[in-house]
Amino acid sequence: MRYASVALGLAILASVLPPPSQASAAPSGKAEFLSRAAIVGWIDNYRHKPEPSRVPEAVRALSEFGSLRDPETAGFFAGFVADVLGANPKEAERLVARMLPLPPPDQWLVVRAIAYSGLPSWKSLLARVADKLPARRGMIDAYLTGALPTLDAIELDKSPTFLEQVGQHFGVKPKLPPLSYGRNPELLDTLWGQYFAAGQYRPVWRIIAMLPWSKDRDSAERLSAGSSAKYTLANNAARYPDVLALIKDMAMYQEKDVRPILAEVIHAAETIETSAIRKEQMAAAERLKTGGPGYQRDMKL
């Protein structure tokens, strides 16, 4: 059942995001990355001590460990690499060249990292390395032609209008964009990867904007995405003082529908009660599963 995606999504995200306890696994100096845990531990501290020259080595090691085979569970790494490239425009092409070659199943990461990098000349860079990524020619063409959007161009899912809700009730399917935060949970991981690369506010701001979906009564997809956003914010704010300080600073600038939910996140992080958020969101998913969308329940009243 798709409604189970909340629990599954939270479990996946919890396993992907790097906990502080793994920081001790980070290699010292220029030692090789001997395990996935070592890479995650290094990424854990990267925003405090950037080492862009080591990113190609980390990408190749992740490939060797089989951590890039599934794009749906490797979005965190794509976001991290993308932001590193964006932060180092003069070195971006050299960094990409050192990541290659990669096995065909893993070449998607380089394509997506370039497309999501925010580099002014990302299309030119992607076109120049296309011959070295033959397994992803279709993906490259889709980004170059605009058939696939860049990360900044992906809009947050809009709630359906009343007429659209009625149409859905009678089986009319709305036209959907190619990528959506509701239908593509790896995008939330990608935003967190961006944050761990530079510690900037923009990806966290977008995650915060998803919080109202944690109260969604109509869409299992939006409820799942909002629940994951809420849980990962609380979980990472409890683990990392810089995340907690950042969301506190941003709280006063939020819309009125966001502020009370963000206050719950901050309270859960400060009291280390993040498990309560997980349980609350799983209960909301169960209510949606058993009772159906809220607009249908309202129509029956």
pLDDT at position 172: 56
pLDDT surpasses 80 at 22: no
Please tell me what DSSP assigns to residue 19.
P
Q: Is the dihedral of CA 83, 155, 212, 176 positive or negative?
A: negative
Mean pLDDT across the chain = 85
- The predicted model gives 120-126 an average pLDDT of 98
Structure tokens at 55: 């990113």
Token pair for residue 102? 């990669």
Q: 213 versus 281: which is more confidently predicted?
A: 213
Peptide bond into 20 cis (omega under 30): no
In three-state secondary structure terms, 153 is: helix
CA 207, CA 261: separation in Å to the nearest integer?
A: 12
Buried b (16+ CB within 10 A) or exposed e, 218-236: bbbbbbbbbbbbbbbbbbb
pLDDT at 5 over 60: no
How many residues are recorded in the chain? Answer: 301
Cα 209 to the center of its chain, rounded Å: 13
Using the predicted structure, report yes or no on whether residue 140 has a pLDDT greater than 90: yes
Report helix angle 92-99 to 55-64, nearest 10.
30
Instruction: Using a cut of 0.85, tell me whether the model's pTM lies above it.
Output: no
Location of structure tokens 């998803």: 210
Contacts of 159 (CB under 8 A, 6+ apart): 216, 218, 219, 222
* Distance between first and last Cα of the chain: 26
pLDDT in tens, 206-263: 999 999 999 998 888 889 899 999 999 999 999 999 999 999 999 999 999 999 999 9
- Cα–Cα distance measured from residue 81 to residue 46, given in angstroms and rounded to the nearest whole number: 11
How many C-beta atoms lie closer than 10 Å to residue 119's C-beta?
20
pLDDT at residue 125 tops 50: yes
DSSP H/E element including 52: none
Q: Please identify which residue in the block is written with the tokens 């890479």.
A: 39
pLDDT of res. 269? 97
The residue extents of the domains of the chain are 22-153, 162-178+201-300
Nearest to 262 by CA among 207, 217, 191, 222: 207
What is the rounded average pLDDT of the residues 85-109?
Answer: 98
201 band by pLDDT with thresholds 50, 70 and 90: very high
Of 129, 151, 128, 148, which Cα lies nearest the Cα of 138?
A: 148
Sign for the pseudo-dihedral over CA of 35, 71, 63, 150: negative
